Chain A
Amino acid sequence: MHIAIASGKGGTGKTTVAANLAALTEGDETVYVDCDVEAPNGHLFLKPELSFSETAGIPVPQVDPALCTGCGKCVEVCRFNALACVAGKLIVFAELCHGCGGCVPACPEKALTESSHAIGTVSRGMAGDLHFVQGTLRVGAAMSPPLIRAVKAKAPDAAVIIYDAPPGTSCPVITTLKGMDYVVLVTEPTPFCLNDLQLAVETVRTLGLPFGVVINRADVGDARVRDYCDAEDIPVLLTLPEDRRIAAAYSGGALIVDALPEYRASFMELLGKIRDGAGQREKGKAVRS
């Protein structure tokens, strides 16, 4: 079962929910995958021992100056403006390249080959019985989806795989959400969160994925998030209260389910609802096929 924890707005509690869920699902073989490669922080709470690390890269063109005639056909093809041709010479700006490979066949002289340009690292390890995978984008690298794909590919197959998504609704999030069985959207009851939640709902609906909402710090703000979920028939899977002890545990890098065991039942219930939601999809699939 592939479960993504996403949000729209950042800082609503994605990692809190993802890490606590991952820590709970003992018994089932479980994997936690930190896809927020620009700021991976699940490790702060799960404290894995990392035993494996490798560089992830994208294929960028390399020019053979002996073959290049400076015709500029590759520059015309590149929609990412990563190539320039001046004074008969080709200049490659690897940091702008998206690794699409379009330029290579465009070259009539076969002067372009591909080489790997490092954009980050994928590391893997164990946190107790929990499998842990994370990606770390190289500082200065602008494009995270290829790294997120590499991170997802390194996640071992297991009964439960929890993906901690990046914030927002753009390519990194879409890349994370591909192939999910269920998506949890974490939000807070504020106008700002509601705005971004609506964007996230639109995204997840467009992708055709089953989803539900977790309202964090549910007793602050106003009722608009709740009203929106009711009006849109979106299941609210869990509400977490504004509890200073949760903030204190978080600040010390502790999991809620460890520091405040009275919340274990809430997270168990959340996991059950996710299973049900994902299961309904499985049934739907079976009916359709």
Chain B
Amino acid sequence: MIMKIAFSTSGKDLNALVCSRFGRADGFLIYDTDTDEYTVVENQQNVNAPQGAGIQAAQAVVKAGASALVTGHCGPKAFTVFAASSIRVYHSDEVPISEALQAWRRDALAEMHAAAVDGHWV
């Protein structure tokens, strides 16, 4: 059973919108489905990274203990990291995280099995 879900976002709480960007999102809200509590992991070091933002953001999401990610788009290199760590990735539009969370609970979010966008380099 999934215990922690990561949402890419520029906000700090459940009213904030899901951010369509993954690697260069401002941060990630990590929601614990067991306790219904959440924390926010900053992603500032990747917002202006010259390259590899998705890779490092994916690693940060893994380190935060998430086993699912809800985001807008996600590139091929981030997917490589998720594949190595068995994280499931779900697509959401830019709706409030609380709505995306409910949709995820209803199993109404589409799971992404491959990159939704091309990489920047290859």
Contact = CB atoms under 8 A, between A and B. Distances in A.
Contact of A93 (B49, B55, B85): B55
B81 A96 contact: no
B84 A82 contact: no
A99 to B, nearest CB: 14
Contacts of A81: 46, 49, 51-53, 55-56
B1 interface: no
A93 B62 contact: no
A86 B65 CA distance: 11
Contacts of B86: 87
Interface in B64-85: 77, 80-81, 84-85
Interface residues of A, number: 15
B83 to A, nearest CB: 9
Given A86-B85, A89-B84, A142 B58 contact: no
Nearest to A90: B84
Nearest to B46: A81
B17 to A, nearest CB: 26
B22 to A, nearest CB: 14
A11 B31 CA distance: 52
Contacts of B59: 75, 84-86
Interface of A: 75, 80-82, 84-87, 89, 91, 93, 95-96, 140, 142
A31 B86 CA distance: 55
24 contacts: A75-B59, A81-B46, A81-B52, A81-B53, A81-B55, A82-B55, A84-B56, A84-B81, A86-B59, A86-B62, A86-B81, A86-B84, A86-B85, A91-B81, A91-B84, A93-B55, A93-B77, A93-B80, A95-B121, A96-B51, A96-B121, A140-B121, A140-B122, A142-B122
A86 to B, nearest CB: 4
Contacts of A140: 121-122
A121 B89 CA distance: 38
B85 A80 contact: no
Interface string B75-107: 001001100111000000000000000000000
